[in-house]
């Protein structure tokens, strides 16, 4: 059997803890997954996995084999990319992670445009706001919105991320439009769980105010807040990349437009500059260029 394939199968079993899940992901039979793992153990003359009816875990030898196998698979992918026919031909798979709101609003279209330029590439996108360990999850690139990105990661700015207060016209007609930040305390507010859940900071000129708000609905995902606002649920604090289209259509109105919310930045994050593949470099350059003039 192909030892690189056996390594790939072994790594998937080790990371998922399941022969069945690995078979489903790699689109092969469970028996074939078992044969590949057995080939690895025969080749290395060591037991790599503890198997029980409930779980699969690594032995000490398996821990070492996993690290080395991941390194060899990464090297093999790099060799394949660098020796591909044609200087501009990129191939293989990239793993990305991004928040649902930005992926839905802008990144999905960007990925489609990038893949149209490089049809031999494949991209696997993990959508969610949880902070994944990029090395453990084998993520090539994370698109995150932050004021201070993780110091142990390489951060490349893609675009500014401003926020805005918005509400549906029907809600404002019923409850009134606040003219001063202090009036927000009397309104139903829609807040992100991890950003301004109970206090919104607004600034104008040299004046900055912290306003305590009553968050009648909180969510850990901005798209949920967008739809709650569209349904007339209250005043929402949303990133402009998500809110501006609804504002342009008249479905939402900006509240306290002359006050600013703390700005953040959209970053592309990756674990190390060493061994950065041509495909990742190409995607980074593409995203920087695409968002150099943010459409929102």
Strand partners, 253: 167
d(CA 163, CA 161): 7
Nearest residue to 102 (alpha-carbon basis) of 240, 284, 256: 240
Q: What is the DSSP letter of 198?
A: S
Q: How confident is the model at residue 48 (pLDDT cuts 50, 70, 90)?
A: very high
pLDDT of residue 54: 77
> pLDDT tens, 50-86?
988 778 899 999 999 999 998 888 888 767 666 654 5
Structure tokens that stand for 22 in this block: 């690995």
How far from the centroid of its chain's Cα atoms is residue 127's Cα? Answer: 5
How big is the CA angle at 195 (ends 192 and 201), to the nearest 5 degrees? Answer: 115
Predicted TM-score (pTM) of the model is 0.70
Q: If phi over 0 gives left and psi between -120 and 50 gives alpha, with beta otherwise, what is residue 234?
A: left
Q: If phi over 0 gives left and psi between -120 and 50 gives alpha, with beta otherwise, what is residue 176?
A: left
pLDDT at 274 over 70: no
> pLDDT tens, 157-175?
999 999 999 999 999 999 9
For CA atoms 207, 182, 147, 124, the dihedral sign is negative
> pLDDT tens, 124-158?
999 987 777 787 778 899 999 998 888 888 999 99
pLDDT of residue 292: 92
Strand partners, 207: 204
> Other CB atoms closer than 10 Å to residue 133's CB: what's the count?
9
Burial of 170 (0-12, 13-18, 19+ CB in 10 A): exposed
d(CA 230, CA 14): 44
């Amino acid at each position: 059997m192909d030892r690189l394939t056996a390594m790939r199968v072994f790594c998937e079993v080790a990371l998922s803890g399941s022969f069945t899940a690995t078979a489903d992901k790699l689109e092969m039979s469970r028996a074939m997954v078992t044969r590949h793992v057995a080939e690895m153990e025969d080749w290395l003359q060591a037991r790599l996995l503890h198997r029980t009816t409930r779980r699969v875990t690594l032995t000490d030898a398996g821990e070492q084999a996993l690290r080395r196998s991941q390194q060899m698979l990464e090297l093999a992918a790099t060799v394949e990319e660098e020796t591909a026919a044609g200087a501009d031909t990129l191939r293989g798979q990239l793993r990305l992670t991004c928040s649902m709101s930005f992926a839905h609003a802008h990144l999905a279209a960007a990925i489609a445009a990038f893949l149209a330029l490089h049809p031999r590439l494949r991209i696997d996108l993990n959508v969610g706001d949880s902070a994944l360990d990029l090395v453990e999850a084998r993520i090539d690139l994370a698109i995150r919105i932050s004021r201070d990105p993780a110091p142990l990661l390489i951060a490349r700015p893609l675009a500014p991320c401003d926020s805005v207060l918005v509400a549906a016209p029907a809600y404002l007609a019923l409850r009134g439009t606040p003219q001063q930040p202090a009036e927000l305390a009397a309104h139903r507010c829609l807040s992100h769980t991890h950003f301004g859940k109970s206090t919104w900071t607004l600034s104008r000129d040299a004046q900055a105010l912290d306003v305590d708000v009553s968050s009648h609905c909180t969510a850990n995902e901005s798209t949920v807040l967008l739809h709650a606002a569209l349904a007339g649920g209250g005043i929402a604090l949303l990133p402009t990349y998500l809110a501006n289209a609804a504002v342009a259509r008249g479905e939402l109105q900006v509240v306290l437009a002359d006050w600013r919310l703390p700005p953040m930045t959209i970053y592309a994050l990756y674990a190390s500059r060493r061994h950065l593949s041509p495909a990742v470099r190409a995607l980074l350059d593409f995203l920087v260029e695409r968002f150099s003039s943010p459409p929102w």
